[in-house]
Structure 1
Amino acid sequence: MATWGLIVEMTVGTGERKHMEASVLTHVEGSREEALAELGEWIGRYTPEHPRSPKRSRIFRTADGFLLVVDGAWQTFSSRFTVAELVKDSAAPAPEPQPTPVPTPEDAAPAPAAPSEDTAPAPSGPTVDRYADGVPVKPAWLGRTDLP
């Protein structure tokens, strides 16, 4: 199954500093048609940063996506939405580990006996009151006399 990137290239800046910047909106697993359908939904929710006071907005369908052209009071801005197949990702997450096979009863070793109360390890040190997130209520350094 292919992974598709939903990409937007938008006009940023104004005047002589106006240029295009690209960003990935999301990734879609599935067919190209499913990715194009998802991209169509993004266009309906997309609000470009420029122009601040849009006068006219037009959406054009292209072979690989959509082109949004917005006329402002002084300048025209555009956003190109493209579907592109992901070929390589240098920062891709590690693949999920495969499940380990479940041993059959013939392969299973006998379970170790549960430790008795007299062989259980004793708790080390005093118990510490903690908040729900695990942070101690009283810091360990509070009340120590060996600190300056």
Structure 2
Amino acid sequence: MGELAKLTSVIAVVCFVPLFLLYEWLGHVPSLFAACFGVLLSFAAALPHELLHAVCFREDVYLYHNLKQGMLFVVGPETMSRGRFILMSLLPNLVFGALPFAVFLLNREMTVLGAMGMTAIPMGAGDYLNVWHAARQMPRGARTYLDGFHSWWYMPGEDQDRQKREQ
């Protein structure tokens, strides 16, 4: 868990710095109130973020947390396709991070949404790591499932094919 927290922290910083620079480059340094309110909104979205992950599951879902290291995550015992896994991983980051930041880019008066997006996007670092691994490692047709904070993939039917060959 500690190793994962360190890696996601690095990913979060790598996400945050360009967003902050873009925010500043656009010349809109928000008021202290707007910045603080946007950051608070992104933290308030942490539980709804996990609930958006949860709605992508069709079966049971479990919420785990390690608040000491700032981690919340949802797992479920079902398998899903690579595409559904990637959607499940990215959906909350799109809704609570990319969408508010895009609204700010379109209307720079919306500094609260800019600050929210700028903070919420890096909070999805663990999700981006899942997407990276799924996109790089899972072949077409593979299925994945979550076990704790690990994800595993397999090719459907391989066990049945192996059993037939052994008989």
Looking at secondary structure, tell me which structure has more strand per residue: 1
Looking at secondary structure, tell me which structure has more helix per residue: 2
* Shorter-chain TM-score above 0.5: no
RCO (CA 8 Å, sep 6+): is it higher in 1 or 2? 2
TM-score band w.r.t. shorter chain:
under 0.3
Query: TM-score, normalised to structure 1's length?
Result: 0.26
